[in-house]
Each structure stands twice: as C-alpha cells, then as structure tokens.
Amino acid sequence: MKRALRFYACFFVAAVALFVVHTIVPEGRGGEDWVGLLFRDAVLLLAIGNAVATWGAGVHLASVYRVVWPLALATLAVCAPILFLLIRYSPAH
C-alpha cells in the first residue's frame, strides 16, 4: 500500500506543479515565438499525462485497497483542470 500511495503522491504533485507552470508561462505572440509555444504545449502534455496517471493510481488504490479518497481527490483536483482546458479550447468557442 505504501508503494501505491507513493506513486499516487508523486503523480499528483507533478500534475499540479505542471498545471501551475502552464498557467504561469505566458502565451506566445505569433509565429516568431515558436520555442515558447512548444515549451508551453510540452508542459501541458506532461501535465495531462501526469493527471491521467494520477487518476489511474487512484483507481488502483480504490479497487485493490478499498481506499476511495485518492480517487475522489484526483477527480476533483487534477481532472478538473483538464475539463476546464477542454471547455476553454473547444472548437465551438
């Protein structure tokens, strides 16, 4: 159980930190700042990957060890930014 909680905690902290970095890094200004845009997109992809890994670790903890709080915390604190990004950058807007 300790190992699973360590994996969960590492993924959770990394996801939150990467989402914070993504919000702090300013958006690029056109085609000349492609390195900044590439860095920002890479940080976003890493944050989403860590968020999915956090959710998966929470599902593992909930199904194997019958502990529900990691899954609820991952859903509220990590998957909510992904939903926000999907709504904000959807093609309909």
What is the predicted pLDDT for the residue at 27? 74
Q: What is the pLDDT of residue 31?
A: 61
Q: pLDDT digit string (tens) for 52-91?
A: 898 888 888 888 888 888 878 877 777 777 777 778 776 6
- Determine the Cα–Cα distance for residues 90 and 51; give it in Å rounded to an integer: 19
User: Each residue of 37-47: pLDDT tens digit?
Assistant: 888 889 989 99
Main-chain phi, psi angles of 92, to 5 degrees: -70, -20
**pTM of structure:** 0.76
